[in-house]
């Protein structure tokens, strides 16, 4: 699809979906469909699901058991059919795809257009590792990292793809080269999220003069994990347009490309960069 300048289209609505997914894939897909229908019913044209929306297993190995081959499998079929049914561009949070290592997965963010065609795939580059008190995570034990920055041209402008822990690495977003919208599916822990999530999401919006759609897991999960939630949509001036602190639901906002263009013209910080990535 050719690039479309976001200064040439009118305002449009976008949605961030928040969930508290569990180990049952079918149940999670049903909940995701309900929330996507809700967002589409409110006029959203671009909908973003959270990280691992289809599976938050009892163990880290559970996602390996439901991994799919690229282009085939019930989760990918669900994303394609749901995008087509509701006529939305759907960012499928992230799902477990088969990796080159047999006992690992790729944490992959797939984008489908309103016809249900997959138009982009981003494999999460930065893998989370935390050891604080009794809480510890090491994604590298079950996830193989990606190595490609991905931007997709859309009717809404240039969309940059990132997942969760990527948020802490601003050089990734600079490497996207002047995107209009950043989508960020996530499952931030409550420990790190309560201190860093909002600050980092707003910073990525401000420094890139971009809209950020941050869709998070939010609440207590069957496996005992607590995720921070606080899904939000941020404007290019850093203002929070809408947010949901906890639980399943939909965050909605209107994107105004003309407003974004005026900000970039009035404060051309993106043109003032001296150090290239």
Tens of pLDDT along 115-161? Answer: 999 999 999 999 999 998 888 899 999 999 999 999 999 999 999 99
Q: What percent of the chain has pLDDT over 90?
A: 92
Rounded CA separation 197/205 (Å): 13
pLDDT for 134 equals 82
| β 151-154/157-161 pair status | antiparallel
Q: Which two tokens stand for residue 171?
A: 């050089």
Nearest alpha-carbon partner for 14 in 55, 35, 42, 52: 42
- Residue 274 CB-half CA count within 13 A: 0
pLDDT for 242 equals 98
Number of other residues whose CB lies within 10 A of the CB of residue 150: 17
Within 106-256, residue ranges assigned H as helices are: 170-174, 190-208
Residues 6+ apart with CB under 8 A from 34: none
∠ Cα 246 249 253 (to 5°): 105
Please, what are the domains in the chain? Answer: 10-267 (3.60.110.10)
The per-residue b/e assignment along 30-69, b for 16 or more CB within 10 angstroms, e otherwise, is: ebbeebbbbbbeeebbbbbbbbbbbbbbeeeebbbebbbe
Residues 6+ apart with CB under 8 A from 49: 17, 19, 32, 36, 90, 91, 92, 93, 185, 215
Rounded CA separation 113/89 (Å): 4
pLDDT for 9 equals 65
Q: Which residues are catalytic?
A: 51, 124, 164
Q: Is the pTM of this model over 0.85?
A: yes
Q: Which two tokens stand for residue 251?
A: 């965050």
Quick: pLDDT tens for 148-197.
Answer: 999 999 999 999 999 999 999 999 999 999 999 999 999 999 999 999 99
Average pLDDT per 10 consecutive residues for the chain, totaling 277 residues: 49 98 98 98 98 96 97 98 98 98 96 98 97 89 98 97 98 96 97 97 98 97 95 98 97 98 96 85
């Amino acid at each position: 699809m050719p690039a479309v300048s976001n200064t040439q289209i009118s305002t449009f609505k976008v949605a961030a979906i928040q969930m508290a997914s569990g180990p049952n894939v079918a149940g999670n897909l049903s909940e995701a469909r309900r929330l996507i229908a809700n967002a589409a019913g409110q006029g959203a044209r671009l909908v973003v699901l959270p990280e691992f929306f289809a599976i938050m297993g009892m163990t880290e190995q559970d996602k390996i058991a439901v991994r799919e081959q690229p282009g085939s499998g019930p989760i990918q079929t669900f994303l394609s059919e749901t995008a087509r049914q509701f006529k939305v561009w759907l960012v499928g949070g992230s799902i477990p795809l088969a990796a080159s290592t047999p006992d690992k997965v790729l944490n992959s963010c797939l984008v489908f257009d309103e016809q249900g065609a997959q138009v982009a795939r981003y494999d999460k580059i930065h893998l989370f590792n935390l050891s604080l008190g009794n809480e510890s995570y090491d994604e590298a034990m079950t996830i193989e990292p990606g190595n490609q920055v991905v931007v997709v041209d859309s009717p809404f402008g240039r969309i940059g793809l990132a997942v969760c822990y990527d948020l802490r690495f601003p050089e990734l977003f600079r490497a996207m080269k002047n995107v209009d919208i950043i989508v960020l599916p996530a499952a931030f822990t409550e420990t790190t999220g309560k201190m860093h999530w909002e600050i980092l999401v707003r910073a990525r919006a401000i420094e890139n003069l971009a809209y950020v759609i941050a869709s998070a897991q939010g609440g207590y999960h069957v496996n005992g994990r607590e995720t921070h939630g606080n899904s939000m949509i941020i404007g290019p001036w850093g203002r929070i347009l809408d947010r949901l602190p906890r639980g399943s639901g939909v965050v909605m906002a209107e994107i105004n490309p003309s407003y974004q263009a005026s900000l970039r013209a009035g404060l051309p910080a993106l043109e003032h960069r001296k150090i290239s990535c």
